[in-house]
Amino acid sequence: MELHRIVFRLDFRNAFTLFNVWGNVLAHLSSSSFWTELSDSATPRAIFARRVVQSSAELHVLTVEVNGIGGGFEAHPINSHREYLSAFEDVTKIITMLNVEEFSRVGVRFFFLEAIDSFKAGLESVVSKVCQDYWGRFDEPPRDISITSIHGDKDQSVRLAVGPISKEEYRAWFSLPDRVRVENGIIVDVDCFGTAYKLKTFEFSKVVELYFETAFAQAKHTANFLMGKE
């Protein structure tokens, strides 16, 4: 089971303090050891940071807006989410600059790939785990399948989508699809999110760590079950 992409979004009520600390945010990101490119725009009002590493096929992005911070980390594969600790700390620092203590939504999404012999084998294995009475309602067997479910309560939830995938489909999932070495796989998309966060101190790295543990365990268990390994 390999991790290939992390996407996050922190939503909050409009933090107009961003306009007061615009230069400070730019200066902080400029001095960061992680980001290699930096820009901003007037419409929409936003700050953008990027890190591109061609040799290892990495693309990482960060966007700071008046009502949220979002971004993503992509490598094929990501050896460890902890490689981006300094970027997570940048997010925490910006949240402190904006004086944000309440979030309407905090979400981190993880994309995992489990290599399989062929798309057909993956499809047949996943289809076999679904109630056969359901497939009896169709004249033809499915040529593709994706199973999506949401678990948890209104405050803390996990949305899981899983299904077989071939290399031809990677363009819809990744920014650097040609660098993915897995020819065919089971893709497990795990979105961990919470609402109504109200915190005096916010450490984004701890949020990622907590959500990763949940996502990886669920992804591994789900892929193993669908492929008949447990």
**Confidence at residue 228, expressed as pLDDT on a 0 to 100 scale:** 83
91 has a pLDDT exceeding 80: yes
Average of per-residue pLDDT values in the chain: 93
**Confidence at residue 48, expressed as pLDDT on a 0 to 100 scale:** 97
Question: For residue 183, what is the DSSP state?
Answer: S
Q: What is the pLDDT of residues 96-131, one digit of tens each?
A: 999 998 999 999 999 999 999 999 999 999 999 887
**Confidence at residue 66, expressed as pLDDT on a 0 to 100 scale:** 94
Helical (H) or strand (E) element with 211: helix 204-226
CA distance 213 to 210: 5
Q: What is the 3-state secondary structure (H, E, C) of 80-140?
A: CHHHHHHHHHHHHHHHHHHCCCEEEEEEEEEEEEEECCCHHHHHHHHHHCCCHHHHCCCCC
pLDDT band with cut points at 50, 70 and 90 for residue 137? confident
**Confidence at residue 105, expressed as pLDDT on a 0 to 100 scale:** 94
CA distance 182 to 103: 37
Region 66-93: mean pLDDT is 96
**Where does residue 173 fall: left (phi above 0), alpha (psi -120 to 50 degrees), or beta otherwise?**
alpha
Which structure tokens are listed for 216? 């990886």
Region 34-61: mean pLDDT is 92
CA 179 to chain CA centroid, Å, is 18
195 has a pLDDT exceeding 90: no
Cis peptide before 177 (omega within 30 of 0): no
pLDDT band with cut points at 50, 70 and 90 for residue 202? confident
36 has a pLDDT exceeding 80: yes
197 has a pLDDT exceeding 90: no
Region 55-61: mean pLDDT is 90
**Confidence at residue 178, expressed as pLDDT on a 0 to 100 scale:** 92
Provide the whole-model pTM. 0.94
